[in-house]
């Protein structure tokens, strides 16, 4: 990845990182209050261990071991969120995937496409094609986006760039942008679950949710899909309009959960069903501890961790009771969790 591409990537994740860093700062204050101020005043709430697992949430794995989710369909092994990545997950013989995780944006002409970033420059040849360093999904039609090579900047594990420089008719269909309909048509009949994140906010995010809901019903995957978003208005929209959707916690809600855990509050009234905890939440305030995961399970919450690529981190979280490991390299996760090597 070049310096300019890396700078573009940093710009894309700036919003997400700001939210995470802010939440971490608030958590730090809470922990200091818990373990410094309160002991000095002679009062320290205790968190009990040995909670009973709430068995009503089907996303809790109990003693069956953690499930493996391919983050962006396994972006280490193929260009992220392209058909080439999904085919590896489905057809691989060396490993198995239980859940496919991917992101959605809405195009200018109202199509839902699989894309993580707001812009398509990091993952494609958009800068060259449109002579624009910030090509937003929402500003282009599906037909325009289909002209791009989304394998352009993919670096394989051996350091090569197998799709770089391909243009026009030479671009394989498997590395062109995917619509939600296209990927669900390919996956129809496959025994897989889904984690889908809506990336758009505001009115566009609400429109995306409307279309996603209709599509989940059409393809009969509503009960096999967890929907998430970083956008507060979309979270509220889901809760009010689509109460039958299984929703993951927002970063703010993860913070609220952790505070409940610290103070031993009965957590039966959470508005979400699944905690998806980023890799950054570890260390001094470890949401991946066995005690914290046990508390979540007792509160009826499944616990999923992203994006976990390190073998030792995977093993630790699985040992502590994590329900899902969301990873860029599902083969590595499979070998650790299923004990292949």
Please give the residue range of the domain that contains residue 258: 3-337
- pLDDT mean over 317-330: 96
The burial class, CB within 10 Å (0-12 / 13-18 / 19+), for 87 is: middle
Q: What pLDDT, on the 0 to 100 scale, is given for residue 22?
A: 60
Check pLDDT > 60 for residue 149.
yes
For position 284, what pLDDT does the model report? 56
What pLDDT does 214 receive?
98
Most confidently modeled range among 15-29, 53-67, 130-144, 278-292: 130-144
Mean pLDDT across the stretch 148-152? 98
pLDDT at residue number 40: 44
Higher pLDDT, 31 or 182: 182
Mean pLDDT of 69-98: 97
Question: How would you label 110-119 residue by residue, b for 16+ Cβ within 10 Å and e otherwise?
Answer: ebbbbbbbbb
How high does pLDDT run on average in the chain? 87
CATH code, 317: 3.20.20.190
Q: What percentage of the chain reaches a pLDDT higher than 70?
A: 81
Give mean pLDDT, residues 16-31: 58
Contact present, 123 and 153 (Cβ < 8 Å): yes
What local confidence, expressed as pLDDT, does residue 37 receive?
Answer: 45
Choose among 177, 176, 180: nearest CA to 196.
180
- On whether the pTM is more than 0.85, the answer is yes
Mean of the pLDDT values across residues 308-328?
96
Both tokens of 257, joined, read: 């959960």
Residue 241: strand pairing partners: none
pLDDT tens figures, 115-135? 999 999 999 999 999 999 999
CA distance 104 to 208: 8
Whether 156 has a pLDDT exceeding 60, the answer reads yes
Domain count, the chain: 1
Kindly state the average pLDDT of the residues 86-99: 96
Show the DSSP H helices in the chain as ranges.
3-32, 38-41, 83-91, 126-130, 142-145, 180-187, 202-218, 232-241, 251-262, 290-298, 311-320, 330-337
Confidence (pLDDT) at 48: 54
Give the N- to C-terminal CA distance of the chain in Å, as an integer. Answer: 31
The pLDDT of 225-240, averaged and rounded, is: 97
Q: How confident is the model at residue 251 (pLDDT cuts 50, 70, 90)?
A: confident
More confident residue, 25 or 290: 290
- pLDDT tier, 46 (very low <50, low <70, confident <90, very high otherwise): very low
Count of alpha carbons within 13 angstroms of residue 128, beta-carbon side:
15
């Amino acid at each position: 990845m070049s310096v300019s591409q890396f700078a573009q990537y940093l710009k894309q994740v700036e919003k997400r990182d700001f939210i995470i860093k802010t939440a971490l700062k608030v958590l730090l204050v809470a922990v200091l209050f818990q373990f410094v101020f309160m002991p000095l005043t002679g009062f320290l709430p205790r968190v009990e261990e040995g909670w009973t697992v709430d068995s009503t949430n089907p996303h809790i794995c109990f003693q069956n071991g953690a499930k493996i989710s391919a983050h962006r369909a396994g972006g280490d092994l193929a260009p992220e969120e392209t058909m080439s990545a999904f085919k590896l997950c489905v057809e691989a013989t060396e490993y198995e995937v239980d859940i496919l995780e991917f992101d959605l944006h809405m195009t200018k002409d109202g199509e839902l496409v699989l894309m993580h970033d707001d812009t398509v420059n990091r993952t494609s040849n958009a800068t060259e094609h449109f002579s624009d360093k910030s090509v937003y999904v929402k500003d282009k039609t599906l037909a325009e986006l289909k002209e791009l090579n989304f394998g352009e900047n993919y670096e394989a594990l051996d350091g090569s760039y197998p799709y770089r420089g391909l243009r026009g008719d030479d671009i394989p269909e498997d590395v062109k942008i995917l619509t939600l309909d296209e990927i669900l048509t390919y996956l129809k009949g496959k025994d897989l679950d889904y984690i889908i994140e809506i990336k758009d906010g505001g009115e566009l995010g609400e429109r995306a949710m409307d279309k996603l809901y209709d599509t989940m019903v059409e393809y009969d995957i509503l009960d096999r899909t967890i929907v998430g978003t970083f956008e507060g208005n979309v979270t509220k929209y889901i809760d009010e309009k689509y109460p039958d959707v299984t929703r993951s916690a927002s970063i703010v809600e993860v913070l609220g959960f952790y505070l409940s855990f610290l103070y031993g509050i009965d957590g039966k009234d959470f508005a979400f069903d699944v905690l998806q905890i980023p890799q950054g939440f570890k260390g001094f305030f470890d949401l991946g501890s066995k005690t914290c995961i046990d508390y979540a399970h007792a509160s009826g919450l499944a616990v999923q961790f992203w994006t976990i690529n390190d073998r030792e981190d995977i093993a630790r979280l699985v040992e502590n009771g994590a329900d899902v490991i969301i990873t860029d390299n599902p083969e590595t996760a499979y070998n650790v969790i299923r004990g292949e090597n």
